[in-house]
């Protein structure tokens, strides 16, 4: 259990992933402050955690407010999204306050930003953990597990995220998919287009073989560093094939939808809740020059969003305990080691699948 004095502030803690993270921290005995733009909503989310937790209204772009919010906190958890547009106020405030930082953002530009702060965090003996979600934390951990014991680097790596239909999808999550449609994505092998290049991947039951399309993730940058791989594909698909092909169709049209489209899709998707499962899959596949293929996957038969939220919660929970902790910018598989991270996910009820051919 955490020390009674340990405390964490969760920015965006009233959202889907933030609430899951806050709940996991509170269950571990950590005092949680739920922070968000809407103070009343943050206070309601804090009350739902039980006694001793509080809500706070604060904007991530407001440097003085961030510094004040971090008083007495052990770790700041960012579940509110990328800091690229908001600015690095929270990263700076953590360094000044001597507070660890963890996030679940998957945007490549955000990962580059947090990594640029590595030396400043290292000098202060602090951790700045980024991308602690399905991608890149779990996907890269699975790729490292698949490659374990191999001497030659793989020729190609493919990571896939499949999202169960009965998972709540807020407007911000929908917008993150719309932002990728048809856009140029820089991969090690050259430029690819978002939601193009259909491939069929063999996912574990109950999902089976599924068509998936290009997505964006720091995996494009991290996997060549980790494995020496020359070609990387990052793919995404949805349990309802209609949704997968719908996004692919929009990408073909060359239209870049805005916030109104995200709101419309959120409204359209509400009646579809209850269909399918709340599960999901993260799969890493490595293809070698000798024709062999090695696969590792994490399967959630239900609570797929909890699987995505857990790496962030696990790192934050550990940071609230006595150290020492690794300093500088890293992600969850660096923090724990890929084997330990995957073991923790299994202990939380998710299934580790492996295959080689």
How many whole angstroms separate alpha carbon 263 and alpha carbon 159?
28
pLDDT of residue 272: 57
Structure tokens belonging to residue 86: 């908001």
Torsion region of 321: left, alpha or beta (phi above 0 gives left; psi -120 to 50 gives alpha) = beta
Tell which residue, 247, 177, 244, has the closest CA to residue 216. 177
Residues pairing with 354 in the sheet: 296
Rounded to 5 degrees, what angle do the CA atoms 153, 134, 218 make? Answer: 55
Report helix, strand and coil shares of the chain as percent, to nearest 5.
40, 25, 35
pLDDT of residue 79: 94
pLDDT of residue 144: 98
pLDDT of residue 253: 83
For the segment 75-90, what is each residue's pLDDT rounded down to a tens digit? 999 999 899 988 999 9
Task: List the CATH code of the domain at 134-305.
Answer: 3.30.360.10
pTM of the model: 0.92
Which residues, 6 or more positions from 333, have their beta carbon under 8 angstroms from its beta carbon?
137, 140, 141, 144, 341
Which residues, 6 or more positions from 61, have their beta carbon under 8 angstroms from its beta carbon?
86, 87, 89
pLDDT of residue 130: 98
Three-state secondary-structure class, residue 194: coil
pLDDT of residue 2: 39
Residues comprising the chain, all counted: 357
Indicate where the chain has its CATH 3.40.50.720 domain(s). 7-133+308-338
Contact 49, 30 (CB under 8 A): no
Indicate where the chain has its CATH 3.30.360.10 domain(s). 134-305
Predicted confidence pLDDT, tens digits, the chain (357 residues) = 334 448 999 999 998 899 999 999 999 999 999 999 999 999 999 999 999 999 999 988 888 999 999 999 999 999 998 999 889 999 999 999 999 999 999 899 999 999 999 999 999 999 999 999 999 999 999 999 999 999 999 999 999 999 988 766 556 666 777 788 889 999 999 999 999 999 999 999 999 999 999 999 999 999 999 999 999 999 999 998 988 998 888 888 876 665 555 454 554 455 556 666 789 999 999 999 999 999 999 999 999 999 999 999 999 999 998 888 999 999 999 999 999 999 999 999 999 998 877
Q: What backbone phi and psi angles, to 5 degrees, belong to 331?
A: -120, -175
How many whole angstroms separate alpha carbon 335 and alpha carbon 324?
11
Residues pairing with 161 in the sheet: 236, 282
Rg (C-alpha) for the chain, rounded Å, is: 20
Q: Residue for token digits 């739920």?
A: 34
How many whole angstroms separate alpha carbon 245 and alpha carbon 239?
11
Q: Options 3.90.1150.10, 3.40.50.720, 3.30.450.40, 1.25.40.20; which CATH number does 7-133+308-338 get? A: 3.40.50.720
Contact 79, 101 (CB under 8 A): no
How many whole angstroms separate alpha carbon 253 and alpha carbon 258?
14
Three-state secondary-structure class, residue 56: strand
Question: How far is the CA of 222 from the CAs of 24, 60, 136, in angstroms?
Answer: 28, 27, 8
Q: Residue for token digits 């939808």?
A: 257
Burial (CB count within 10 angstroms: exposed 0-12, middle 13-18, buried 19+), residue 153? middle
Tell which residue, 207, 227, 209, has the closest CA to residue 294. 227
Cis peptide upstream of residue 80 (ω within 30 degrees of 0): no
């Amino acid at each position: 259990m955490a020390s009674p004095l340990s405390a964490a502030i969760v920015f965006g803690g009233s959202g889907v992933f933030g609430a899951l993270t806050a709940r996991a921290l509170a269950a571990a005995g950590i005092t949680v402050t739920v922070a968000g733009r809407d103070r009343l909503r943050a206070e309601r989310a804090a009350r739902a955690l039980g006694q001793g937790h509080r809500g706070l209204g604060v904007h991530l772009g407001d440097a003085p407010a961030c510094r004040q919010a971090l008083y007495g906190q052990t770790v700041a958890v960012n579940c509110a999204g990328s800091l690229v547009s908001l600015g690095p106020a929270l990263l700076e405030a953590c360094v000044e306050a001597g507070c660890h930082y963890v996030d679940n953002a998957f945007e490549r530009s955000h990962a580059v930003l947090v990594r640029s702060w590595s030396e400043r965090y290292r000098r202060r003996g602090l951790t700045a953990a980024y991308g602690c979600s399905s991608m890149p934390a779990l996907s890269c951990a699975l790729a490292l597990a698949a490659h374990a014991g191999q001497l030659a680097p793989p020729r190609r790596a493919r990571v896939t995220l499949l999202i169960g239909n009965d998972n709540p999808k807020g407007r911000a999550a929908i917008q993150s998919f719309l932002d990728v449609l048809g856009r140029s994505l820089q991969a090690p092998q050259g430029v690819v287009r978002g939601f193009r290049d259909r491939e069929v991947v063999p996912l574990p039951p109950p999902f089976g073989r599924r068509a998936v399309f290009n997505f964006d993730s720091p995996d494009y940058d991290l996997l060549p560093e980790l494995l020496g791989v020359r070609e990387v594909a990052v793919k995404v698909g949805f349990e309802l094939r209609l949704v997968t092909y719908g996004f692919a169709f929009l990408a073909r049209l060359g239209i870049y939808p805005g916030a109104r489209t995200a709101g419309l899709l959120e409204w359209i998707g509400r009646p579809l809740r209850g269909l399918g499962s709340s599960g999901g899959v993260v799969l890493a596949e490595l293809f070698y020059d000798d024709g062999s293929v090695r696969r590792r996957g994490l399967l959630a038969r239900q609570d797929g969003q909890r699987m995505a939220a857990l790496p962030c919660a696990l790192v934050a929970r550990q940071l609230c305990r006595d150290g020492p902790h690794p300093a500088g910018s890293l992600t969850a598989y660096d923090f724990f080691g890929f084997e330990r991270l995957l073991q923790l996910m299994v202990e939380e009820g998710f299934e580790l699948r492996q295959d080689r051919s």
